[in-house]
Amino acid sequence: MIAASDPAGRPPAGIERARRFLAEADGVLVLTGAGISADSGVPTFRGEGGLWRQHRPEELATPQAFARDPRLVWEWYEWRRRLVADCDPNSAHVALARWQARGAGVRIVTQNVDGLHGRAASDTGVASGPELLLELHGSLSRTRCTSCDARRERRDPIDTTSAATLPHCAGAGDCRGLLRPDVVWFGESLDPAVIGAAFGWAETADVCLVVGTSAVVQPAASLAAVTREAGGALVEVNPEPTPLTWRAAVSIRGGAADVVPRIVPGDQPSATSR
Ligand code: BV8
Ligand code: ZN
């Protein structure tokens, strides 16, 4: 069922039906993409003004690009790190964190590297660990050493003016290896423990709530199909149709910050939900 937004500006239809699916589910897997952070000011990848507009993914988000020109790749990531540092979780991130805090059997798998789900959880007092939130593609706020693989949280600015100023490892044995963003690039495999846990959650969920993803990138996009094939239902929130829309029990044409708080059960029911 595709619920279009109402020309009269009322919330899109399908809200009540989506709420019911989520309220009646014992276990819900929430799969999010860049669209859930759009309302926080983080550009999506493929939308207007998207991250890929200025560059092609192959140019920057690949190990080959980093080997070829680590300074350019770091410049793009540092631009995103600074941009995300000024962004806050929006009402969609917060509604999901509050839902998890109510112990509702909700698990979040995100493709995003902006850290906004984790910040919404800590702002909400939810101790979010890998049993509640999986970041499939890593995090902008972590670096990884290309020599010793040491991973570290790092939020302070990185000087990308020259190859010499790029960050180097201060790990054991005076490693000095060049650091990279701790994200999964195209052509790189995901952490088997992380993607394995995500598929396990997808297999056992009664509902997969898919929010703000173009469902193009694999293997993340397959998670929703796994829930569907295991007999679960899909509920989608996206202003546009996606390759998952035809498989969704409800696909709501709306923005995450507006729709997610209306469909999360137990949150303030909106007066106009239908
Ligand atoms: C791998 C981190 C083994 C870096 C990212 C099988 C089939 C086909 C291809 C492949 C396959 N297996 C592997 C591949 C290749 C590749 C791939 O999927 N390519 C695609 C392009 C076809 N996958 C990989 O390489 C993966 N590795 O599988 O390893 C292997 C290795 C080699 C060869 C084969 C197998 C690794 C993929 C991870 C790449 N890293 N991010 C960084 O961020 O810099 S991916 C990056 O792009 C994001 O993390 C995210 O996953 C993806 C962007 O997708 P979305 O989040 O959906 O964002 P997008 O802009 O596309 O869409 C936004 C949506 O929001 C839109 O629908 C829009 O309508 C909506 N929206 C807008 N506003 C709102 C909204 N929604 C709600 N509210 C709003 N307000
Ligand atoms: Zn090192």
pLDDT digits (tens, 9 = 90+) for 184-225: 999 999 999 999 999 999 999 999 999 999 999 999 999 999
233: its two tokens:
């239902």
pLDDT of res. 3: 60
* Distance between Cα 169 and ligand 2 center (Å): 5
The catalytic residue among 55, 93, 137, 168 is: 137
Looking at the CA of 61, name the nearest ligand: 1
Q: pTM of this prediction?
A: 0.94
- Determine which residue's CA is closest to atom 1 belonging to ligand 1: 189
* Distance between Cα 152 and ligand 1 center (Å): 24
pLDDT of res. 163: 93
229: its two tokens:
């094939």
CA dihedral 211, 215, 217, 222 (to 10 degrees): 90
Q: Using one digit for the tens of pLDDT, what is the confidence trace for 224-250? A: 999 999 999 999 999 999 999 999 999
d(C-alpha 4, C-alpha 123), whole Å: 33
CB 207 within 8 A of CB 235: yes
d(C-alpha 230, C-alpha 217), whole Å: 21
Q: Using one digit for the tens of pLDDT, what is the confidence trace for 249-273? A: 999 999 999 999 999 998 654 444 4
Q: Using one digit for the tens of pLDDT, what is the confidence trace for 115-128? A: 999 999 999 888 77
